[in-house]
Structure 1
Amino acid sequence: MGAGVGVIKRFLAGAAAVGTVAGVGFLYYAWYPALPPVAPPAAGTFSPEQIERGRIVAAEGYCAECHTRTDGTPGPELAGDYRMETPFGAIHSSNITPDVETGIGSWSEAAFKRAMRLGVSREGEHLIPAFPYDHFTKMTDQDLSDLYAFLMTRPAVHLAIRPNELPFPLSLRIMQAGWKLMFFTPGAYKPDPSHDALWNRGAYLAEGNAHCGACHTPRNAMGAEKKSAQYDGAVVDNWIAPPLNAHNPTPTTWTEDELFQYLRFGVAPLHGPAGGPMSPVPHRFLSTVPEEDVHAIAHYYADIDHAAERSKHDAAALALAMEQSRAGLTGPNPDPDAKLYQGACAACHYNAAPSPILGRPDLALNNALWLDEPTNLFQVMLHGLSAEEGQSGVAMPSFYNALSDADMARIAAYLRRTRTTLPPWTDLEKKAAAVRSTVQSVPVNSSH
């Protein structure tokens, strides 16, 4: 009996010692010193060439998209306070203008680079990984220096950021160090010698600064990207960011040219326009950067998608889609769902030619019909597309007032059964109502 108690005591003492050592080790891992504040660099510190390079880096990283307030009263560009809803609570982006009190005006270049590479603020606090430093860590020293030059030469905006709404203990910044220990591997991008320079440039941009996986890769229960499901698609801002790999279900392939057209101009001839959260990427950002960088990203994803091999089947898929587009839309049609579709959609989405006409997206080829859920189809029905979204100058009206949830469900069911070879969606009217609940008000481009 006494010997057994002694063994238990020794075990507990050993466990306590191990726990103490582990705790001290974690604190050592988690601690970063505050870096001294600096005076904002003078305007002439950076050359015009470096500032322009930094502008390109900022555009390819979509900095203004997440660092500009959009809810309530829109805020000044790059002044932060963009509200991000997460499963853990709302997070508000930081002010990255060179304001000394509320922005990063007192940050040295070293402090800025540490934040980008390691996710640690100038004050030594761990940043919440809603800021995708797990991607930015791959950026080169030159790109980070150029980005710093660009940001430090923007107008300083004094704008205090709303506090985050994370519950305790997630609100403790040291908790982010634990997240990093499990999911974050710092380090610059290393070129793959088995691929050419164009592929590596695309990979560097896509996996680093452009952080495509932040939206197109599903996340685990801790909010980290699932490396085993890279680019498999995910839900973002109540839309579905579709797969960027061979799991993309559309019948015609996202070829390198389709990807380039979509990323550069906001519309792909066979797959339609960019809508929702994706729309600003081509229109606000990638349309303003060197064309060769957009080609590089398209080249990289076409390789991931095995596009060259998969596109061998595109001719047959395209012919079938055009046949489906024309079927049942001439002469009497007893199908009431088809009649509803004809009245609401067919005037713009009908294609009689051998291939879709630009500006008339063929729904049989669109991601929205082939995804596991009808979310994106309902979002487009409710929001529409303004002339600034999707294809330049081509608008789709909102059907927020014109179609009920039951109407949207009927159209979705009709298109799924007549334009795809996939199983029917379920609970469509309920899902239509759920998507409608995320639309805060009737869009301004509504004409119905």
Structure 2
Amino acid sequence: MKRKTKWSLAGAVVLAGCAGAAAWMLEPAIAPIAPPAAASFAAQTVARGARVVAQGDCMVCHTASGGEPFAGGLPLKTPFGTIYTTNITPDAGTGIGNWSPAAFTRALRRGVARDGHLLYPAFPYIHYTRMSNQDIEDAYAYLMTRAPVQATPPANQLIFPLNFRPLLAGWNLLYLRPGPVPADGNRSEIWNRGRYLVDGAGHCASCHSALGPIGGERSPAFSGGNIDGWDAPALTALLQAPRPWTEQQLALYLRHGWSPEHGAAGGPMAPVAHSLSTTPPEDAAAIAHYIMSLQNPAAKPPALSAAAVIKPAANDPALLPGRTLFAGACAGCHTGAAPMMAAGSRPSLALSSAVAGPKPDNLIQTILNGLPWTHTGQSSYMPPFAGTLTDAQVASIAMYVRAEIGQRAPWQDDKQRPLDARGIEQRVTAIRKENQQ
């Protein structure tokens, strides 16, 4: 982005912030309370809260690598700098132990902390505001019964003037519509439940929508986004996958992080599936039902388009390095005769969105980072190759898998030019650098 454009956007944010300051900067502090005893909350309320917190995947964002659950400190990279998540354990000094139910509700409804300062929208309160009073009360009960941890996150590192919190007043005027959304009486109960979960606690649009110049979600929602260097696919184009998704397949994927027709969840989506696996099956079913209602049945899957499918030459020299590397590093798991494929009924890489997608980034991320083994019951695992393969080798494998296994036309750059091995290698280098920051 050009410097002039950046400062123009910064100026717009300043003006919007000043315009909204009168409405949003007068939020008073809410008096602190003594941390409530865990025994003061009914077991049934805490159990319901566990479900709500899992629906929102709260632990993942509020737990740093190697840190205590919900103690914060996880760095969230944004186009405007790095924001560190807060401690939401019931520690009175560094967490939310002295927050009353009213303070907690205001944070979720209006993006305002107990002491009155405005929260950054990396905390997706524009979605949490749509949650019911009951779900918010239950989530409060669950968090207040966790083990208190004394932990203060690092200071945020944001560019000027976006590090000036009062400017968030203008942002809220543009993007925040406080309060729940009424059910649609013309729709089924499962559809309304799915919309409630997707637009509320699940905050799916936060990752699966493009962001505007000042970080607001662009319309149309669910048209695809980017999170932590991973492309989040458009949730409105699931019928355009190499094999069109069905509602049952999507529900299985959401709950288990794996589908026999589409592959395994990777990157930020993997912990989302793990969280949903701890909720009742009807949650994933409702989400899948709602998301599939957003599809265009008339859309033609790329797999049926002759222009999108190619058959590379058998002796294409450009694919030889990748073919050799794949045979040595990947074929033991990813060929039809491999035990994982034969016994586990794993899908071909040709069906993976990382292979068939419009950009190589997700395939590169998967090769570099693998699919870590994070919990028992996980349905998939892949070792990382960041430490054993060079950037050129990763690029060669990605290029080979795309053409030979996926039988897809080459990826394209921003100017719609085919990406060759050198172009893919440059993406590998950039992604590796971003991951190390």
| TM-score of the two chains, using structure 1 as the length reference | 0.82
Number of the residue aligned with 2:330: 345
What letter is aligned with 2:288?
Answer: A
Q: Which runs of no fewer than 5 residues in structure 1 stay unpaired?
A: 1-21, 442-448
Number of the residue aligned with 1:65: 60
Does structure 2 retain, via aligned residues, the 8 Å contact 1:267–1:390?
A: no
The answer to whether residue 86 in structure 2 is matched with residue 101 in structure 1 is no
1:367 aligned to which of 353, 369, 388: 353
- Aligned-residue offset at 1:374: 0.5
Does structure 2 retain, via aligned residues, the 8 Å contact 1:51–1:147?
A: yes
Number of the residue aligned with 2:425: 429
2:32 aligned to which of 32, 37, 42: 37
1:291 aligned to which of 262, 270, 281: 281
**Aligned in 2, Cα 1:163/1:247: closer, same or farther, shift over 3 Å?**
same
Aligned counterparts of 1:389 and 1:339: Cα–Cα separation in 2 = 33
Q: CA RMSD in A?
A: 3.1
**Aligned in 2, Cα 1:28/1:286: closer, same or farther, shift over 3 Å?**
closer
Number of the residue aligned with 1:51: 46
Moved more, 23-32 or 403-412: 23-32
Aligned counterparts of 1:270 and 1:389: Cα–Cα separation in 2 = 23
Q: What SS does the aligned partner of 1:120 have?
A: coil
Aligned counterparts of 2:244 and 2:337: Cα–Cα separation in 1 = 21
2:293 aligned to which of 300, 303, 322: 303
Q: What SS does the aligned partner of 1:146 have?
A: helix
Q: What SS does the aligned partner of 1:186 have?
A: coil
- Aligned-residue offset at 1:48: 0.4
- Aligned-residue offset at 1:421: 4.1
Aligned counterparts of 2:252 and 2:20: Cα–Cα separation in 1 = 50
Aligned counterparts of 1:289 and 1:204: Cα–Cα separation in 2 = 15
Moved more, 240-249 or 172-181: 240-249
**Aligned in 2, Cα 1:391/1:384: closer, same or farther, shift over 3 Å?**
farther
Q: What SS does the aligned partner of 1:240 have?
A: strand
The answer to whether residue 228 in structure 2 is matched with residue 237 in structure 1 is yes
Aligned counterparts of 2:373 and 2:68: Cα–Cα separation in 1 = 23
Q: Which runs of no fewer than 5 residues in structure 2 stay unpaired?
A: 1-16, 413-418
- Aligned-residue offset at 1:387: 4.0
Residues 18-417 of structure 1 mapped to structure 2, 5 A cutoff: 26-70=21-65, 74-228=66-220, 230-246=221-237, 249-283=240-274, 285-306=275-296, 336=320, 337-351=322-336, 358=344, 360-388=346-374, 392=378, 394-417=380-403
- Aligned-residue offset at 1:132: 0.3
Aligned counterparts of 1:296 and 1:306: Cα–Cα separation in 2 = 19
Aligned counterparts of 1:379 and 1:206: Cα–Cα separation in 2 = 26
| TM-score of the two chains, using structure 2 as the length reference | 0.84
Number of aligned pairs? Answer: 405
What letter is aligned with 2:29?
Answer: A
What letter is aligned with 1:237?
Answer: D
Does structure 1 retain, via aligned residues, the 8 Å contact 2:64–2:74?
A: yes
Does structure 2 retain, via aligned residues, the 8 Å contact 1:135–1:207?
A: yes
**Aligned in 2, Cα 1:132/1:79: closer, same or farther, shift over 3 Å?**
same
Q: What are the superposed Cα offsets for residues 350-377 of structure 1, whole Å, 9 maximum, x if unpaired?
A: 3379xx7645331211111222221111
What letter is aligned with 1:297?
Answer: I
Aligned counterparts of 1:375 and 1:236: Cα–Cα separation in 2 = 11
**Aligned in 2, Cα 1:78/1:45: closer, same or farther, shift over 3 Å?**
same
What letter is aligned with 1:44?
Answer: A
Aligned counterparts of 1:424 and 1:160: Cα–Cα separation in 2 = 43
- Aligned-residue offset at 1:275: 1.2
Aligned counterparts of 2:411 and 2:95: Cα–Cα separation in 1 = 50
- Aligned-residue offset at 1:187: 2.0
**Aligned in 2, Cα 1:387/1:76: closer, same or farther, shift over 3 Å?**
closer
- Aligned-residue offset at 1:247: 6.6
Q: What are the superposed Cα offsets for residues 278-311 of structure 1, whole Å, 9 maximum, x if unpaired?
A: 111122x11111111111011111221246x669
Tell me which of the two structures has the higher relative contact order, counting C-alpha pairs closer than 8 angstroms and 6 or more residues apart.
2
Q: What are the superposed Cα offsets for residues 97-117 of structure 1, whole Å, 9 maximum, x if unpaired?
A: 111111111111011101100
Q: What are the superposed Cα offsets for residues 5-50 of structure 1, whole Å, 9 maximum, x if unpaired?
A: xxxxxxxxxxxxxxxxx96874244321111111122223211000
What letter is aligned with 2:230?
Answer: W
Does structure 2 retain, via aligned residues, the 8 Å contact 1:68–1:77?
A: yes
Number of the residue aligned with 1:19: none
Bigger radius of gyration, 1 or 2? 1
- Aligned-residue offset at 1:248: 6.9
